[in-house]
């Protein structure tokens, strides 16, 4: 089976020579396929449905149109591999379509988040090995600062400089923002920094680059399973949602939260007020003595 770069090059060459695809289309497919390959650590061509589903989970915050385009690129890419006899199946066909509208963000309760961190601390107390030290830093930054998965895994090594209680993060649109860090997060990052070579470009290095979003997804789900939380209920993005929802529940200002999350439009941040409202309504329905009366 050819490597990802070779397979992608063959596919794009077919689009141009046999299908007469427009330059913009070829360029978009190149970006999507090379990005997917990077997220799967060069294993796109050989990936199965499970890997592709985790890949799409990492694209949860993208616009529906962007996700649809990426899905189309993957389906056509794998269809090409099947037609060329490189693969016998098209795993992208099993990926569900984009649902219309924007559902309310999925989140976790404060008790569930506490359980995640209590489990992680127990594991660290038993054996503070490098993977667990790294996971502690990842979790503290996901939930403690509400970082996007891409922002987190690609953090430069010098983005956080203890004891300075903040980080400079480059988010969507190449915009920088300042992220406050809790003392617990700082300690976790200090422990991670002690394990990262000084010449490393990234805080969470992996191979020649940084930790992939797909691998981050696996790590978070693995911890959830150990904590007794259904893995399908959690992802890095769910922890970002939990950060925002719990901040609002504790009285955070909506504009301040918009800045922390790096949202260009406050309407995106306002979705979390609907999550909290829905939770309050559910609480009243479940606990109020008159809730079941007609």
* Catalytic site positions: 148, 172, 237, 240, 263, 272
Give me the helices (H) in the chain, please: 4-17, 23-39, 49-57, 64-83, 110-126, 130-145, 149-153, 183-193, 213-226, 236-249, 254-261, 266-287
Length of the chain: 294
| Calpha distance 281→228 (Å, rounded) | 26
Q: How far is CA 120 from CA 80, 131, 143, 182, in A?
A: 43, 11, 13, 17
Main-chain phi, psi angles of 175, to 5 degrees: -90, 135
Residue 232 to residue 239: CA distance in whole angstroms: 13
Peptide bond into 163 cis (omega under 30): yes
Closest CA to 182 of 211, 221, 142: 142
Q: Alpha-carbon distance 131 to 121, whole Å?
A: 13
């Amino acid at each position: 089976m050819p490597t990802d770069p070779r397979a992608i090059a063959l596919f794009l060459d077919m689009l141009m020579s046999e299908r007469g695809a427009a330059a913009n289309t070829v360029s978009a497919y190149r970006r999507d396929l090379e990005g997917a390959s990077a997220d799967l650590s060069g294993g796109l061509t050989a990936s199965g449905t499970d890997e592709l589903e985790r890949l799409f989970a990492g694209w949860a915050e993208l616009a529906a149109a962007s996700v649809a385009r990426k899905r189309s690129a993957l389906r056509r890419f794998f269809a090409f591999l099947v037609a060329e006899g490189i693969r016998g199946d098209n795993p992208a066909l099993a990926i569900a379509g984009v649902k219309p509208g924007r559902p309310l963000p999925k989140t976790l309760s404060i008790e569930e988040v506490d359980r995640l961190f209590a489990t992680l601390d127990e594991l660290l107390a038993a054996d503070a090995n490098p993977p667990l030290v790294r996971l502690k830093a990842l979790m503290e930054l996901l939930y403690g600062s509400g970082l996007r998965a891409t922002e987190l895994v690609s953090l430069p090594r010098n983005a956080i400089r203890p004891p300075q209680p903040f980080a400079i993060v480059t988010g969507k649109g190449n915009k920088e923002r300042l992220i406050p860090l809790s003392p617990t997060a700082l300690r976790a990052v200090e422990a991670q920094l002690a394990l990262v070579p000084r010449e490393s470009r990234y805080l969470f290095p992996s191979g020649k680059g940084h930790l992939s979003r797909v691998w981050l997804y696996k790590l978070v789900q693995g911890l959830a399973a150990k904590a007794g939380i259904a893995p399908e209920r959690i992802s890095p993005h769910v922890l970002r949602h939990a950060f925002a929802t719990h901040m609002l529940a504790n009285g955070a200002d909506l504009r301040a939260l918009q800045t922390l999350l790096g949202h260009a439009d406050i309407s995106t941040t306002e979705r979390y007020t609907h999550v909290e409202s829905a939770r309050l309504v559910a609480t009243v329905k479940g606990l109020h003595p008159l809730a079941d009366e007609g």
